[in-house]
Each structure stands twice: as structure tokens, then as C-alpha cells.
A and B are shown apart, each in its own frame.
Chain A
Amino acid sequence: MSIEVENLTKTYNIKKRSTTDNSIWYFRAKKYSSMTAVNNISFSIPTGNIVGFIGANGAGKSTTIKMLTGILTPDHGRISINGLNYKKHRRQIMLKIGVVFGQRSVLCWDIPVIESFKLFKDMYRIPEKAYKENIELFSDILNLPEFIYKPPRLLSLGQRMKADLAAALLHNPEILFLDEPTIGIDVLAKAKIRDFVRKINQERKITIILTTHDISDIEALCKKMIIIDKGTLLYNGTLEELKGEYYLSHQKEVYQNAAMENTLETIIKNIYEGDFL
């Protein structure tokens, strides 16, 4: 499934309060000011791509992802997923997307993971055969049997993330949103999760949108990336193009600092600092 986004905008209202006033008047909020979290973003993602979605803290990544998944309603703009939109075809879209938020869990806290899986099986009307196949496949790669009979409150962070990843993919979604899926995960587990994501993408032609602060995730998985900062779109294109453009515009410095490694990480760091584009 493809995603098209046009002129997406979301603003939050926040109370304006003095930061220095410690008297009782602090509580007298004078005005509301609006903060634009996402400002007029447009992009499109074709079917089967893995796209890295990056930006500094508070750049508006999560807000965008939440609008793309239909949790938040945009103030302006249009999101269409394979030509469908959230206003009219909410349920249809929901059946086709899978979401993993690294810092939240979809699993019922007190109940064995397998019970949550069974719930999703009924919720998405997954045929028995497909369900079994998926569980087997995920068991192989993600070591599910190790922890599937325990409730999430007894799992380690990595195990919980694996369980969440499996839960998001049970119903064979056509789009997968991964919001920081590797925070707090050790190197080995990270490599496994990456391999798994890559494999799923290749075998099932799933469109994947990945936000992360781990540049190595992006390098390992994504061909394309979208960079946003302060709610506006800075870059949308392939990794190679970004590197190429960067080298072109920074030729001098690159020659001067031949020793300096111009890896993706430094490029992105410079972009966050407002150096490029």
C-alpha cells in the first residue's frame, strides 16, 4: 500500500506562562499560544519501500506518525493510504496497518502474551492457517516460545519489543509503522530485529515507516529517508543522494578535513545544527 500526504499541519495550544515569575500570578495563565508541531508537510511513499523518518527531539516525528496512523486528527491537509482516508474508511485502513510504538505496548499487561495474540486473531479475523504460519515464523526468528506464556509485566524490554513486533505483524498488514523500535535493545537483539524487518519487507512487500534516533538502523534498513525539523520537511530522498549532495556542497571542508569521517551520522548532526539544506 502506498501513502500520500499533502500539506499536513498540526498545531497544539499551550498556555503561555512566565518562566521567571514565582509569585502566585504564575497560575494566571494569560494567553494561549499555538505551537506548530507539524507544518505543511507533503510526501509520498510508494508500496514496498522502507523509509527512515528522522528528526531531532521534538521535531514532530511522533505527531506525524500519529496522524498517519489515524490516532490524531490533522488540522489541515490530507492523508491518503492507497486512496483511502481516515474519515471514511477508518476500519478498512486499520485492518491493513500494523503499529509498534517502542515506548508503549499493545499487549495486556497482566495477561500472558499468547492471550493477546488470540485476541488480535479474532479482532482482525486472521484465518487459523495464516495465524499458525505467522506464529511459527515469528517463533523461529524472535524466540517467541521463550516468553509467550508470560504476561508482559514479567518480560524484559527486548522481549516485550519482540512480542509487540510479532503482535503488529500477526494480521499480515500492508503497512508497518515502527516508532523507535530499538530503544533500549542490546546489539544482538537489535541485529535480529533488523534482519526480521528486512525479511518481512522483502517477502511480503510491506511498506515500512521507521522512526529512530539510531542512525545505524537507518543505514541498515532504509533506502529512502525523510528528515524533518521543527515541523517542516528538510529532506526527502535516498541516502546516497543525501550523501552526494552533502559532499558537493561541502567539498572544501571535506578536503580540508580529510580525516573527518563524513558518515551519515555526522551529516545528520550537521543538518540538525542547521548547516545544510
Chain B
Amino acid sequence: MKKYVDYIIIGMKEHLVYPSAMWAKFFSKILYLYLQFSIWNALFSSNSQINPVVNQKDTLNYIVIATIISALIECNTIEWLNAQISTGNIAMELIRPIDFLKMVFSRHLGDSVIKIVFYCIPLCVITVMIMQQPILCHTQILHGVLSILLAYCIQFLYSLIIGLLAFWLIVTWPLNMLLGAIYKLLSGAWIPVTMFPDLLYKINLFLPFRAIYAIPVTIMTSQMKASAIREAIITQFMWMILLYCITEIVWTIGKRKLIVQGG
């Protein structure tokens, strides 16, 4: 177990090595939050029609929370795995008496700890100062946190699967760009899913993306029935288990397909 703790610490240290990169990331997050905030504010104020489904306050809450969560959830596992597989450096990880997937997760976990401390918490402070009104649904915070944790796992497993496809495709980030566009739209990281047209909404029910942003953010920001919350969390849970199984399968088959690149 201690070796995985070491990997968590290494993940943290690797994130902290280049302070200038961290500052750049930090400011980009703030800028992104500000952009999202301004765009949605402008959209609502330019359109005076009263929409019964979505109101300005809820939407803004949703967007702000989604942005903060994205700072935590986003994960560079795809790029990392791609680099490992396409350069052949993965060989050096495979000769260790460790579980490779657990190792990747530990590194990501360490990375996330730094992200919470250096990005999420400052973003929360800034948000509280700007918004000046309660944005969280206090009664549902515990469920919300659980839901975020599940979303975190789902996002990681999803990245892992796409990254591991490099066993077959060698380079998967272009595939990831394609999926990334779909992902950003359908997960609800940019636009609240309640605004989707009916067809898109129905398609989305059969895809895992919804479970990454839409579900946790909705639980965090809007009042829901107990049964609805339970249903949402169970949905997330199912997706997590399904993706976990797929990961194991892809890993077991892919490992055998491995050709160590570059001698």
C-alpha cells in the first residue's frame, strides 16, 4: 500500500515542479470562470423572454459550479498514457511488482490533491466573493460530494479507456479531440443539460457523459427529491462499474498486444 502512497506524493511533486506552469494554469482557470460567467450573464440580459425551464440564477449557479468541478475532475491520463505507449516507456512500468492501473490512479490522485488546493479552493473563494448569494443547496451537499467523487472516478476510467486504446492506435489524442467535443457538450460542462432539445436529451441518457458533470452539479445546485437523488447516484454508480469492467478488459487484451516502440 505504501508504494501507492509514494506514487500519490510523486504525482503531487510532479505537478509542483514547474511553478510558472502552475501560475499559468491558475490564471487560465480564473479567466475561464470569468468568461463563462460573463457569457451567460450577457445571454440572459440580452434575451428578455422569460423561460419557465431555465432561469438566470440557476443557470449561473450551474455554470460556476461546473467550472470549479472541472478544475478538479479534468485529467491528463490520456496524454500521459499515449506518451508512455508511443515512446515505449511503458516497458519501464511493466517490470515493476505493482498494479499498473492502480499506479496510474495514484499519480492522478496526487495530481488532484494539488489541483484542489491550488485551483479549486481559490476559485471557490473568488466565486463566493463575486456571487454574494448562496449557490449551493445546503441540504444536499453530502450527496453532492459523493456524486462528485463518483464523477471523478468515471472521468478517470473514461480517460483510461481512451488512453489505453493507444495499444491499438498508438496515438489517441486526435480521437480524444473528437470525443472531447461530444463530451464537453453532452456532459453539461459548458451548457446545462436541461437546455438540450428532447432528442439530444434522450441520446444522452444512454451515454456516460451526463454522469460526469450534469448529475453532480445538479445535485449541488438545485433542490431535488430524495428519490431523484438516489436514482442519479445509482446511475453514476452503474456507469462506474461498467467503465471499470471495460477498462479491465481493454487492459488485459491490450497488454498482450503491446509492441514496445523504439527498440
Contacts and interface: CB of A to CB of B under 8 A. Distances in A.
Contacts of A105: 92
A106 B95 CA distance: 10
A115 B13 contact: yes
Contacts of B89: 104
Given A123-B96, A123-B97, A111 B10 contact: yes
Interface in A139-178: 151
B109 to A, nearest CB: 15
- Interface size class, chain A: 20 to 34
Contacts, number: 65
B103 to A, nearest CB: 10
**Most chain A beta carbons < 10 A, residue from B97, B259, B260:** B97
Interface string B1-40: 0110111001001100110000000000000000000000
A19 B60 CA distance: 59
B262 to A, nearest CB: 8
A104 B17 contact: no
A108 B258 contact: no
Interface string B250-263: 00000110111011
A154 B14 CA distance: 15
B94 interface: yes
A111 B17 contact: yes
B94 A70 contact: yes
B162 to A, nearest CB: 23
A119 B10 CA distance: 9
Contact of B91 (A95, A104, A119): A104
A71 B94 contact: yes
Interface string A113-142: 001001100111000000000000000000
A3 to B, nearest CB: 15
Contacts of B262: 103
B97 A95 contact: yes
Nearest to B92: A106
A122 B2 contact: yes
Contacts of B13: 110-111, 115
Nearest to B15: A110
Nearest to A108: B10
A53 to B, nearest CB: 14
A110 B17 contact: yes
Interface in B117-175: none
Nearest to B103: A123
Given A91-B97, A122-B6, A123-B96, A110 B14 contact: yes
Interface string B162-203: 000000000000000000000000000000000000000000
Interface string B234-263: 000000000000000000000110111011
B6 A119 contact: yes
A101 B91 contact: yes
A113 B108 CA distance: 21
A62 B91 CA distance: 12
B3 A97 contact: no
Contacts of A91: 97
Interface in B86-107: 88-89, 91-92, 94-98
A194 interface: no
B3 A104 contact: no
Nearest to B91: A71
Given A66-B260, A94-B96, A101-B92, A119 B14 contact: no
A39 interface: no
Contacts of B10: 108, 111, 115, 119
A171 to B, nearest CB: 9
Contact of B3 (A62, A101, A122, A151): A122
A12 B13 CA distance: 38
A69 interface: yes
Given A70-B95, A123-B98, 4 more contacts: A72-B259, A115-B10, A118-B6, A123-B6
30 contacts: A62-B260, A66-B260, A69-B95, A71-B91, A71-B258, A71-B260, A72-B258, A72-B260, A73-B255, A73-B256, A73-B258, A91-B97, A94-B95, A94-B96, A95-B97, A99-B95, A103-B263, A105-B92, A106-B92, A108-B10, A110-B13, A110-B14, A110-B17, A111-B10, A115-B10, A118-B6, A119-B10, A122-B5, A122-B6, A124-B97
A-B pairs with the 7 shortest C-beta distances?
A: A94-B97, A123-B3, A110-B17, A122-B2, A119-B6, A122-B3, A71-B91
